[in-house]
């Protein structure tokens, strides 16, 4: 019971819901960037929501199966083909021993989740199978997949055919994507006008967008409130005494290009942050391609919690629909 | 020193103990996070002390953000009145080959990103800190111990704060533009902080040398990293020891053969004692390492 990697795709890694508890020594939570899609993919093949799946970025892999399994693809619209025959996304389908799963070119989104019944059974490291490539930790040998890799599969997971997540329950970013942010952290370092522009401007995802963080361009540079640099911070107005970075925090080195930290975040550093993207919108960032447009919206804690509740409710509806 | 609290979205509380770095701010971060850990608050998933701040990650479905904020403030108040200025910790010796060939090769490759392209990182840092060349620099750098004031950026990387008066602390800016490469186990420095790069990768700190002693092993094959893959914890104390190339090569071979054990001693550090007699306190801490 295994998957043979014929072609690895651009950047395909083993991911689950992540590895909490080690951020204080610099090991990030990792796990799927679009956890909504990851949970849905697992439920579609009868797995528990935290089973390990493959996260394929921009370009799908080519995989050969050594046993009969059920497979489902969610997240990005990356059309699957089984032995050359098209299959639907967000829908489970059977794969027979010896068959090959490949993908057409990406239509929308950025990351597809490939769930296989039984789950990808790589060793559990610090409580998770998720890959953290920067630290060469977890997943398959701590790295993205390469041609010739053979991934063991777990047993179990019921073989259910043709389950489908209804279109109204699928989640994807709009264009421009609306990313809700709670201003805070070092927000006081920028002028009132800079803060206003930040929310007014339309931003574009830069080529430097990966599991560590997403960089944005195109908005006006931020003006700083003048200050005497505190000891240990550094002379640039965007410097702080190195501190922790929250997941989703928006740092703006030099005041020019905002970077949103994601699941493989560097855990801390010396750049100020103007706020944090709310938990409900982190899935959406994982589906943005370079050059995609986005706008930031200011929200309060109440609004953030309401959005979190809505996401959870939608995810529950997905579960109940299957 | 009034702490500043801010929500980092709906899952984090960020607490800045002080804007500026100081041992007091670091001690506050360390003692409050220790108290938070001991309190075992339901819904708290990550407790991360940093140099002069700390961060708590929580699940707002389990604990309301405002309830946690109130609880943290009361823990902070109790920790402050408790006067936790002493710490049971470890002192760890880190052998360093200063001016080694690997960081030298790397710094030469990235000279166009440096403030002083005609000098090495050590020469430059020695000059702006008014130290007597490379030898004077090594003496200042390895003379007094350093606190691990934060672990992070990447897995297992310690940030280090030199345990001397502020006017004696080595300070050096980061590179003008970050490098795309830093050798694994580089001993670096940025602002007032030292660091050991746990993995190879990008970096902006000045590069002074390299240690033969691995500090992160995700495969947990190295003898002293079998129990846990990261060597350092916030609050540990580091003592650099300059070594030559022969000892460097021998240590690398010993690590590989499973024969190397880091020199580590348990110590108690008191902030009051330190302020009363910095050199004396440091001599006592270092003495614990070498059995005198």
Q: How far is CA A155 from the centre of its chain?
A: 26
Residue spans of chain A under pLDDT 70:
157-161
* Span B191-232, pLDDT tens digits: 999 999 999 988 889 999 999 999 999 999 999 999 999 999
* Span A142-198, pLDDT tens digits: 999 999 999 999 987 666 668 999 999 999 999 999 999 999 999 999 999 999 999
Which residues between 12 and 51 in chain A have a beta carbon less than 8 angstroms from any beta carbon of chain B? 20-21, 23-27
- Shared-domain flag, residues B148 and B282: yes
- Among the candidates A149, A169, A189, a domain finishes at A169
Confidence of residue B80 (pLDDT cuts 50, 70, 90): confident
- Shared-domain flag, residues A152 and A216: no
In the predicted structure, residue B79 carries a pLDDT above the cut 90: no
- Among the candidates B16, B50, B83, a domain finishes at B83
3-state SS, residue B41: coil
In the predicted structure, residue B292 carries a pLDDT above the cut 80: no
- Shared-domain flag, residues B168 and B231: yes
- Shared-domain flag, residues A54 and A195: no
- Shared-domain flag, residues A154 and A198: no
- Shared-domain flag, residues A194 and A163: no
Mutate to test the interface with A, among B5, B9, B62, B222 (most CBs of A within 10 A): B9
CATH assignment of the domain containing B182 = 2.40.100.10
Confidence of residue B83 (pLDDT cuts 50, 70, 90): low
Residues recorded for chain A:
322
- Shared-domain flag, residues A206 and A273: yes
- Shared-domain flag, residues B119 and B218: yes
Partner-chain residue, chosen from B153, B192, B216, that has the shortest CB–CB distance to A269:
B153
- Shared-domain flag, residues A155 and A18: yes
Looking at the structure of chain A, the number of domains it has is 2
**CB-based contact B7:A248 (threshold 8 Å):** no
- Shared-domain flag, residues B44 and B189: no
The residue segments making up the domain with residue B124 are 88-290
**CB-based contact B31:B72 (threshold 8 Å):** no
- Shared-domain flag, residues B35 and B97: no
The residue segments making up the domain with residue A223 are 177-318
Q: What is the largest CA-CA distance in chain A?
A: 67
User: Rounded CA gap, A142 and A13, in Å?
Assistant: 9
- Shared-domain flag, residues B225 and B112: yes
Q: Do B49 and A24 touch (CB under 8 A)?
A: yes
pTM of the model as a whole: 0.95
- Shared-domain flag, residues A195 and A164: no
Q: Is B57 on the interface with A (CB under 8 A)?
A: yes
Q: How far is B96 from chain A (nearest CA, A)?
A: 22
- Shared-domain flag, residues B52 and B114: no
Looking at the structure of chain B, the number of domains it has is 2
- Shared-domain flag, residues B198 and B118: yes
CA dist A295 → A198, A258, A298 (Å): 9, 12, 10
- Contact list in A for residue B216 (CB cut-off 8 A) is 135
- Shared-domain flag, residues A103 and A141: yes
pLDDT of residue A235: 83
Q: Do A182 and B192 touch (CB under 8 A)?
A: no
Nearest to A220 by CA among A203, A239, A236: A203
In the predicted structure, residue B168 carries a pLDDT above the cut 70: yes
- Shared-domain flag, residues A157 and A186: no
Q: Do B8 and A270 touch (CB under 8 A)?
A: no
Question: Which ranges in A159-266 belong to alpha helices (H)?
Answer: 192-200
- Shared-domain flag, residues B67 and B129: no
pLDDT of residue A157: 61
- Among the candidates B61, B83, B105, a domain finishes at B83
- Shared-domain flag, residues A7 and A145: yes
For B199, nearest residue in chain A (alpha carbons): A135
- Among the candidates A169, A189, A212, a domain finishes at A169
Q: Is A59 on the interface with B (CB under 8 A)?
A: no
- Among the candidates B83, B117, B151, a domain finishes at B83
- Shared-domain flag, residues A191 and A302: yes
Q: Do A301 and B10 touch (CB under 8 A)?
A: yes
CATH assignment of the domain containing A268 = 2.40.100.10
- Shared-domain flag, residues B150 and B211: yes
- Among the candidates A125, A140, A169, a domain finishes at A169
CATH assignment of the domain containing B79 = 3.30.1360.40
Q: Do B50 and A27 touch (CB under 8 A)?
A: no
Per cent of chain B over pLDDT 70 is: 99
Q: What is the rounded (10 degree) CA torsion for A127, A129, A133, A136? A: 60
What is the 8-class DSSP label of residue A123?
Answer: P
- Shared-domain flag, residues A72 and A89: yes
* Span B271-289, pLDDT tens digits: 999 999 999 999 999 999 9
User: Rounded CA gap, A239 and A158, in Å?
Assistant: 52
């Amino acid at each position: 019971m295994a998957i043979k990697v014929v072609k690895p795709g651009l950047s395909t890694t083993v991911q689950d819901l992540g590895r909490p508890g080690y951020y204080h020594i610099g090991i990030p939570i990792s796990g799927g960037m679009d956890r909504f899609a990851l949970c849905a993919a697992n439920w579609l093949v009868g797995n528990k929501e935290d089973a390990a799946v493959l996260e394929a970025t921009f370009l799908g892999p080519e995989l050969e199966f050594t046993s009969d399994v059920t497979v489902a693809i969610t997240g990005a619209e990356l059309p699957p083909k089984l032995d050359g025959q098209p299959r639907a996304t967000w829908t489970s389908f059977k794969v027979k021993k010896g068959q090959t799963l490949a993908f057409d070119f990406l239509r929308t989104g950025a990351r597809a989740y490939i769930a296989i019944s039984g789950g990808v059974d790589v060793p559990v490291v610090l409580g998770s199978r998720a890959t953290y490539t920067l630290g060469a930790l977890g997943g398959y040998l701590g790295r993205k997949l390469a041609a010739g890799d053979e991934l063991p599969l777990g047993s179990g997971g019921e073989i259910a055919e043709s389950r489908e997540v209804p279109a109204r329950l699928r989640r994807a970013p709009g264009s421009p994507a609306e990313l809700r942010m709670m201003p805070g952290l070092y927000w006081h370092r920028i002028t009132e006008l800079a803060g206003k522009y930040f929310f007014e401007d339309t931003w574009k995802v830069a080529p430097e967008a990966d599991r560590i963080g997403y960089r944005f361009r195109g908005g006006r540079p931020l003006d700083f409130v003048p200050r005497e640099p505190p000891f240990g911070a550094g002379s640039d107005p965007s410097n702080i005494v190195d501190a922790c970075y929250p997941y989703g925090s928006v740092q703006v080195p030099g005041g020019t290009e905002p970077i949103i930290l994601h699941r493989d975040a560097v855990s801390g550093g010396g750049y100020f942050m103007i706020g944090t993207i709310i938990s409900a919108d982190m899935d959406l960032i994982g589906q943005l391609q370079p050059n995609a447009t986005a706008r930031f919206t200011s929200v309060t804690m109440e609004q953030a919690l309401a959005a979190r509740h809505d996401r959870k409710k939608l995810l529950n509806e997905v579960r109940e629909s299957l | 020193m009034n702490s500043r609290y801010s929500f980092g979205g709906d899952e984090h509380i960020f607490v800045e103990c002080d804007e500026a770095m100081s041992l007091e701010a670091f001690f506050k971060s360390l003692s409050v996070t220790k108290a938070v850990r001991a309190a075992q608050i339901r819904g708290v998933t990550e407790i991360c002390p940093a140099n002069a701040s700390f961060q708590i990650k929580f699940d707002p479905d389990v604990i309301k953000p405002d309830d946690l904020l109130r609880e943290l403030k009361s823990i902070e108040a109790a920790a402050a009145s408790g006067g936790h200025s002493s710490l049971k910790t470890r002192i760890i010796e880190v052998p360093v080959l200063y001016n080694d060939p690997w960081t030298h090769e790397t710094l030469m490759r990235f000279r166009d990103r440096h403030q002083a392209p005609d000098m090495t990182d050590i020469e430059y840092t020695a000059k702006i800190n008014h130290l007597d060349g490379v030898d004077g620099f090594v003496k200042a750098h390895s003379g007094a111990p350093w606190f691990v004031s934060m672990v992070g950026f990447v897995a297992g990387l310690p940030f280090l704060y030199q345990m001397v008066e502020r006017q004696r602390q080595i300070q050096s800016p980061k590179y003008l533009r970050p490098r795309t490469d830093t050798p694994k186990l580089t001993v670096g420095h940025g602002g007032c902080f030292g660091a050991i790069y746990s993995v190879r990768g990008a970096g902006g700190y000045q590069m002074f040398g390299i240690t033969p002693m691995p500090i992160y092993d995700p495969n947990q094959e190295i003898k002293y990293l079998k129990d846990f893959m990261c060597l350092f914890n916030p609050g540990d104390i580091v003592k650099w020891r300059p070594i030559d190339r022969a000892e460097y090569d021998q240590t690398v071979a010993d690590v590989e053969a499973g024969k190397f054990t880091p020199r580590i001693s348990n110590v108690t550090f008191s902030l009051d004692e330190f302020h009363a007699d910095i050199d004396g306190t440091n001599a006592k801490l270092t003495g614990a390492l070498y059995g005198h």
